[in-house]
Structure 1
């Protein structure tokens, strides 16, 4: 197969950026804890006497104040520090070698902890991919729904979450009409949670994620950029599972394969 050099370079650049994001300070390789918490004042640290016991950092990290609105501060002895909002991410605060985040899923708050000094960040040096195949760069038709609708989706934890749907993507594959629902948005772009027949054999069993590129009435779905969700790399992530419409009856042998040790 002949691949256009510029397209090959685009995919290789995307792969390099993908690995860099995984191994970054706020990547998915250095998570140490995810502890559900309720609004109020609580002590945080490794000590068993802490209200919120975590497995990294000092015995007594500080006092966390969480407002019902989700706003929070941590006082480690030098006055309250504010958890700052971050685009496409939960509010976060860095203290020492820890990066703390406050997540919320369907009204349940949790403190998520990343150890920036963790050797796990440098342990992953490469990801495995299917060969680049331009045929899997699909231009789908992009349809706005007559009205926004709510959809309940399952999470890997066994809980469920409600998402809002505004569009659907349609394309044909070997004579089969396919309709995919974008259940999330990432960096302002529609994101699809999908599963195909490679799941569990060659790709991560629960799902893969794919971000579309809107082009007027069309949407580019480049399955060479399909990637494993955070829960493929850590038990401390809460990932959505694909809705029934996004569980595909054919193999998508493109994009990211199973992470190491799966």
Structure 2
């Protein structure tokens, strides 16, 4: 399989994930909640008022430890954990999730019938450029390091760094920090000098691909964070070290308006 063919498979999977029932296009609500019992629905008399779904969807119970159950009228059912995602439950056309950021819980709702899925204009990317597929050194830190990461909401979270990725660009040594892990792979939150003009202003995400004692940073696969598509996502901002003072004209551009 050629590199171009492999990339097209990746791009198709990226588009499928974005437009899936649990993708980022059909989020309708994110409401901060506290432990307790609360009614949920679109009617104003609910404790948690949604912008989608029936007037009275049901009752959510949230324990102090984050365990949650939802009763849509046939008895309480536990929200189920999903790899790399918060616990969730399908209720009619709605997919409800209980998320948590630094101790603050929120009810997040997706609507499978949302017109946003039909109205999605697609993804726009730079032309594929093999030169932006970089094999970097994967360097393990002698001791893990704690690092504060700002979120778009202004909240700061803390992550543990175990490695850095090091490569050379135009004679300069670059080190990027993998601040998150997705499906066992290191994720880099990055920004470059195309940000705000050609690419999404806050950041892009990049998943590293392990290759022995190296890591492949394929910037052709740099993609927009959820916050580029919805106001109801909470995304990390890049650490200072991952803000690069040069253009990376590879990967996804800003989402297409309309």
TM-score, normalisation: structure 1: 0.97
Please name the residue that 1:157 is paired with.
Answer: 153
Report the Cα distance in structure 2 between the residues aligned to 1:108 and 1:240, rounded to whole angstroms: 15
List per-residue Cα deviations over 1:55-92 (Å, max 9, x = no partner): 11111111110011111000111000110000000000
Please name the residue that 2:35 is paired with.
Answer: 39
Please name the residue that 1:24 is paired with.
Answer: 20
- C-alpha contact 2:121 2:257 (8 A) present in aligned 1: no
- Extract unaligned runs of 5+ from structure 2: none
Please name the residue that 2:67 is paired with.
Answer: 71
- CA shift, 1:253, in A, is 0.4
- C-alpha contact 1:66 1:73 (8 A) present in aligned 2: yes
Report the Cα distance in structure 1 between the residues aligned to 2:143 and 2:117, rounded to whole angstroms: 43
Pick which of 46-55 and 237-246 moved more: 46-55
Please name the residue that 1:168 is paired with.
Answer: 164
Provide the alpha-carbon RMSD of the alignment. 1.0
Please name the residue that 1:249 is paired with.
Answer: 245
- CA shift, 1:125, in A, is 4.6
Please name the residue that 1:60 is paired with.
Answer: 56
Structure 1 residue ranges (4+ consecutive) displaced by more than 4 angstroms after TM superposition: none
List per-residue Cα deviations over 1:100-135 (Å, max 9, x = no partner): 011000010000000001121122252111010000
- Extract unaligned runs of 5+ from structure 1: none
Please name the residue that 1:92 is paired with.
Answer: 88
Specify the SS of the correspondent of 2:98: strand
Please name the residue that 2:203 is paired with.
Answer: 207
- Given the alignment, which residue of 105, 130, 135 partners 2:131? 135
- Given the alignment, which residue of 106, 117, 122 partners 1:121? 117
List per-residue Cα deviations over 1:181-235 (Å, max 9, x = no partner): 0000011100000000000011000000000011221100000000000000000
Report the Cα distance in structure 2 between the residues aligned to 1:126 and 1:77, rounded to whole angstroms: 38
Report the Cα distance in structure 2 between the residues aligned to 1:176 and 1:47, rounded to whole angstroms: 58
TM-score, normalisation: structure 2: 0.98
How do residues 179-198 of structure 1 correspond to structure 2 at under 5 angstroms?
Answer: 179-198=175-194
- Given the alignment, which residue of 197, 213, 233 partners 1:237? 233
Report the Cα distance in structure 1 between the residues aligned to 2:159 and 2:245, rounded to whole angstroms: 24
Report the Cα distance in structure 2 between the residues aligned to 1:23 and 1:125, rounded to whole angstroms: 11
- C-alpha contact 1:23 1:122 (8 A) present in aligned 2: no
1:217 aligns with 2:213: yes
Count of aligned pairs: 258
Specify the SS of the correspondent of 2:179: strand
- C-alpha contact 2:122 2:256 (8 A) present in aligned 1: no
